[in-house]
Structure 1
Amino acid sequence: MISNNLIGIRIVDDAVQRKLQLMAAHATNTAPAMAGISMVMLGEVENNFRAEGRPTKWKALTASTLATRAARGTSGKILQAKGHLARSITPFSSNNVGGVGTNVPYAPAMNNGSKPHVIKAKNKKALYFGGRFAKKVNHPGTAPRPFMVLTDRGQSDCLKVMAAHIASGG
């Protein structure tokens, strides 16, 4: 189960679930298949970042965000100003679990979006935002940009990994 503090991919597909049950029933060591599945998922998420959203493109950055990034010399790619979030995606697997995740605190807000909220200064007397100092700012919220998503092809590739493992006698 994925907790509220973490973000990951969960496959809820009958064909995948049946194949997982078949694999568990016929294989003694499913760890190699789970590792393969986690690598398929990693490739899918990396492709989501590269394409800036799949199968649906993410909401474009505003002109002011693009101007700020240009002035700072950072990337104009969505969710990749410095690339930390994209680099944080890591695969994990065991004998009965395979997946990808991130421990970046803002990942859920980027993936799922966020509602408007107030940001208050915590460690200093004021924040510097929009060219001015303030004790608090009203953040307008963030549009969802789902990067932890498998395409239909990704799910099909997971099925292929499981089928190959079963065929090998795993």
Structure 2
Amino acid sequence: MTFDRAEPITFTLEEASLNRAQSWQSLIQDLMAETDTFLVASVRDGQIESEEKTDEPAITLLLIAEQKNDSLPVGIASIENGEIGMAILKAFQGAGLGKSLIASLLDWAEVVNLKEVWLDVQTDNLVAIHIYDQFNFKKMGDEVNLTLPNGRATKLQRMIKFLNKENTSL
């Protein structure tokens, strides 16, 4: 499905569910063809001691582009064990959608009382780093060198955000 750029496109967020499973899988395949971001986590996780899984709440959000009667996921964001992951198709980047996804994830994280969230960002991804800085993520630890299965060398920086607990009732 192709969107007509001359016509308005609206965007909504919805929690990932089985009713969109096929389009969700297609989105992930498209994202994997555009970027090696998904390779980063699998390589990173293979090189460090596996972290113990917790029973913390998790969520996956789909960014849905809608035009007339068509709708299609064009981005995905998640929090699992406090780790944030996010990707948006290149054709839809640069419109502030990443900020909307992060804001929604952080709102959800505060509602479910997570104490902190974190992510690993490639140090050459200046756009993403700028977004995370705007949300007060702080760099933690040293950069980590990584060689991806496709042979590309990259560096990762861990960033963390401690969440505000001011809205906790007594």
Q: Please give the range of the TM-score, normalised by the shorter of the 2 chains.
A: under 0.3
Question: Which of the pair has more CA radius of gyration?
Answer: 1
TM norm structure 1: 0.24
TM norm structure 2: 0.24
Structure with greater helix share of residues: 1
The one of the two structures with greater contact order (alpha-carbon pairs below 8 A, sep at least 6) is 1
Structure with greater strand share of residues: 2
